[in-house]
Structure 1
Amino acid sequence: MSKKYLRAGLGVCLIAAAMFATLGEGSSSSSDSGDKDDKSAAPASSQATPFPLGTDVEVAKGWNMKVNSAELDGNATVAAANEFTTPEEGKQFVLVNVTITNNSDQPDEPLFAIDISALPPTGVAADPAFLMGLPGEIETSAQMQPGASMTGVIPFEIASADVAGTVLLGESTFTLDEAEDQKFFAIQ
């Protein structure tokens, strides 16, 4: 376990060093404007217009994700796995089935590359719920080799009144422009 934390800490230090190394580079070249054109050509999404189910999208450099399906009222599925796990009053479990692919050239864990949350209409993101024994739950801390894909369920606990308008939010863990890097996915 300490090896994981050491890798994460080293990754943060390397990213911070790379960010500081680029400070002051304000010159513009034709390749810079080409990069901007590439980003604007990429499909956009928003909370109001999320990517449809089954759309494979790069959510972080070298990491793709798509939502395959969702069980909007997963209370029975969760109870079947662990009868003692119940949602808070007025909430329900939403189980989102996703596929994550490592398209980078390095082995890595999705946990350190992608932040995934549920975003209800209130605009306050909900982190994945910690549930014991849920079958098919995705293991975001598993190391994935380049080209590997993993499919599984991510559980969320959402206010029942907000489920209909909830989307999945995927974004890079390390970003300089959070608003631009957010990707919104429909769950129904």
Structure 2
Amino acid sequence: MDKEKQSRTLPGPVPEGFTLFMALVDCLPVLFFSVSSAILAARFNSRLFQAGVLLVILAGALKAGWKFVIALRHRDLRFLNKQMRYLMPAGFLLIILALFVDRGRWSIAAVIRHMTNMPALFLFLTGAAGMGLMVWFAQKKDRRDAKANWKEQITNSVAQFCIMLGILL
């Protein structure tokens, strides 16, 4: 087995600074997204939408699981981290497709009205800014660096919390 293939399949060196507290905090954005998407899935009855949501939640849960394995077992099971680049985009793609395929089940005018009322507008804009930062982090930061992970987690938690509050309001 060549070195590159081996590095993708076998557990690697354990990243430093990944604690149990970090793993627990990484569950927050998954929880906030789960609440938000459960509310939306109940209002927008679409199997395609629900499948997409499940993929996104699974991706987040597996990423948090990666941190739990590092913190508790001192092992780096890379597939738990790397799966996000496949599952999360696939989940969001299904969610977007559902908006087109099942467009008769929701009203864009009602969504825009809800999103542009205060304080929902502020919350959604804050959430969107946080998601923009997350894209930047994904491109520029080392996912195996604890300090970068803390920045990512805090940003993601705040963004998902704001989006959840915007949906709840």
- Shorter-chain TM range is under 0.3
TM-score (norm: length of structure 1): 0.26
The structure with the largest strand share of the pair is: 1
Using CA pairs below 8 Å that are at least 6 residues apart, which structure has the higher relative contact order?
2
TM-score (norm: length of structure 2): 0.28
